[in-house]
């Protein structure tokens, strides 16, 4: 009789390659998100709904220029805000509360791998959001007024905005209780939605408040996208600098203070 041990390969224990582990974790994150109705409403439905409501010229004046030209770049910024900040902060906060991060810490997946997986998930969702916003904007009559060079700077600005909001999300989720993160993330979402130059131009606010509002990451991202897509300007260096400062500060503080348990 043939020895069965000779017919089977010898076991080879060990962790899978990092690329495969990150891909598997990112796939799990996306499947979890797709089953969460609240997160889908926040990330996919609300931006398109606000674009449909605020894209009409009769709703509110933006001064010179078309209302739809003003709103579409702002909604793109809102999509990044909702995914890279609000959704990520709330989701990570509750993962920490329920011990998910602690269990993942005992797995071969490193912290860097987990962050990479979450980053892949955020960027994937943002691509879907951008597609939906651009399609909805086109149906409402929007067409970008951008040169080829200006369009090339759009991904750079979006990545900087994603880094800024991701750092703030991880900082909040890693230092506050889950319930506090839920309340604070939603509150800041509403504040930046109203004051961050997304739906309303800064000219609607008191002159003394405008310099402060321009330092908000939401306003920097919305204004930068607006200058590229609606005014065909060059690289918005000041807006990019604001986003980079927020990104470095948020990521640095999050790395130093994040509590995984």
* CA dist 119 → 25, 126, 162, 196 (Å): 11, 11, 9, 24
By residue count, the chain amounts to: 261
Structure tokens at 33: 């998100």
pLDDT at site 8: 62
CA dist 201 and 14 (Å) reads: 56
pLDDT at site 230: 81
Write the Ramachandran bin of 8: left for phi over 0, alpha for psi from -120 to 50, otherwise beta: beta
CB 236 within 8 A of CB 227: yes
Would you give per-residue pLDDT tens digits along the chain (261 residues)?
455 555 566 655 566 677 788 788 888 888 887 777 777 887 888 888 888 888 766 556 665 667 888 899 999 999 999 999 999 999 888 888 888 777 776 676 666 677 778 888 888 999 999 999 999 998 988 888 777 777 888 999 999 999 999 989 989 998 999 999 999 999 999 999 888 888 888 888 888 888 999 999 999 999 999 988 887 777 889 999 999 999 999 988 887 887 777
């Amino acid at each position: 009789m043939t020895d069965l041990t000779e017919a089977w390969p010898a076991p080879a224990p060990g962790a899978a390659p990092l690329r495969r582990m990150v891909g598997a974790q990112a796939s799990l994150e996306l499947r979890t998100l797709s089953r969460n109705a609240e997160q889908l409403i926040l990330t996919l439905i609300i931006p398109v709904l606000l674009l449909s409501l605020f894209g009409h010229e009769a709703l509110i004046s933006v001064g010179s220029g078309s209302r739809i030209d003003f709103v579409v770049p702002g909604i793109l910024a809102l999509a990044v805000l909702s995914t890279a900040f609000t959704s990520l902060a709330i989701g990570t906060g509750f993962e920490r509360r329920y011990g998910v991060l602690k269990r993942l810490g005992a797995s071969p997946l490193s912290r860097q791998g987990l962050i990479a997986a979450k980053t892949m998930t955020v960027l994937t969702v943002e691509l879907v959001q951008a597609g939906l916003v651009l399609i909805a904007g086109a149906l409402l009559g929007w067409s970008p007024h951008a040169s080829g060079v200006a369009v090339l700077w759009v991904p750079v600005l979006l990545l900087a905005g994603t880094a800024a909001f991701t750092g703030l999300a991880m900082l909040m989720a890693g230092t506050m209780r889950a319930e506090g993160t839920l309340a604070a993330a939603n509150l800041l979402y509403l504040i930046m939605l109203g004051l961050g130059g997304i739906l309303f131009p800064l000219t609607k606010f008191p002159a003394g408040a405008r310099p402060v509002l321009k330092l908000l990451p939401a306003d920097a991202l919305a204004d930068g996208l607006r200058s590229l897509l609606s005014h065909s300007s060059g690289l918005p260096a000041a807006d990019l600098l604001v986003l980079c400062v927020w990104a470095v500060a948020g990521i640095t503080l999050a790395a130093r203070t994040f509590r995984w348990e």
